[in-house]
Every structure is written in structure tokens, then in C-alpha cells.
């Protein structure tokens, strides 16, 4: 993935329970430029529904979601 897409920042949120992943990603996305992509790792099962919902309310885009074992990787592009 990183070869095809330039990742501006990687956030390792493994082990954090809900709602921490959302709070962290909401902060983290503001630290990159508009148009840039962050890669976020989470093990919280709730993130699978929380992240797409959060992205829709805040106008960002989830470009891809990879599930590997217990870890889910989200690739989120800052749009606004």
C-alpha cells in the first residue's frame, strides 16, 4: 500500500479501547495537510464501524481498509 500511496503519518492505536481511536485519529488528521493520507492501526472491533462513520461526519475519506488478524489498517485522506 505504502508503495502505491504516499503515507504522511502512521498512527499505531493498537490496544486502545473505544472511544480513544476516534479521538486520536480526529486529532492526528489535523496534523497533516489537506489531501495527505494517514495510515491508522487499530485492534478495537468498534473501529470498523466508528471510522467510516467518523469520516463521513467530518468529511474525510477512507481510501482503503485492510484486515490482518486482529489488526485493522485504515488509510484515511484528509479532505477538509
Determine which residue in the list 11, 13, 22, 37 makes contact with other proteins, applying CB under 8 A. Answer: 22
Q: Name the strands in the sheet holding 61-68, side by side, starting at the edge strand that comes first in the sequence.
A: 7-13, 37-42, 71-77, 61-68
Catalytic: which of 1, 5, 10, 18?
A: 18
Q: Which cell numbers in the block locate residue 44?
A: 478495537
Q: Which cell numbers in the block locate residue 12?
A: 499505531
Inter-residue contact 50 to 40 (CB < 8 Å): no
Minimal distance, residue 48 CB to other proteins, in Å: 4
- Is 18 considered catalytic here? yes
Residue number, 26 or 36, with CB nearest to other proteins: 26
**What are residue 44's DSSP bridge partners?**
none
Q: How many residues bind other proteins (CB under 8 A)?
A: 24
Residue number, 6 or 67, with CB nearest to other proteins: 67
**Does residue 57 touch other proteins according to CB under 8 A?**
yes
Amino acid at each position: 500500500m505504502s508503495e502505491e500511496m504516499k503515507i504522511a503519518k502512521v498512527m499505531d492505536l493498537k490496544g486502545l479501547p473505544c472511544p480513544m481511536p476516534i479521538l486520536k485519529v480526529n486529532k492526528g488528521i489535523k496534523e497533516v495537510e489537506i489531501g495527505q493520507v494517514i495510515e491508522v492501526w487499530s485492534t478495537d472491533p468498534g473501529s470498523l464501524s466508528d471510522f467510516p462513520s467518523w469520516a463521513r461526519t467530518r468529511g474525510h475519506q477512507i481510501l482503503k481498509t485492510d484486515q490482518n488478524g486482529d489488526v485493522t489498517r485504515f488509510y484515511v485522506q484528509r479532505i477538509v
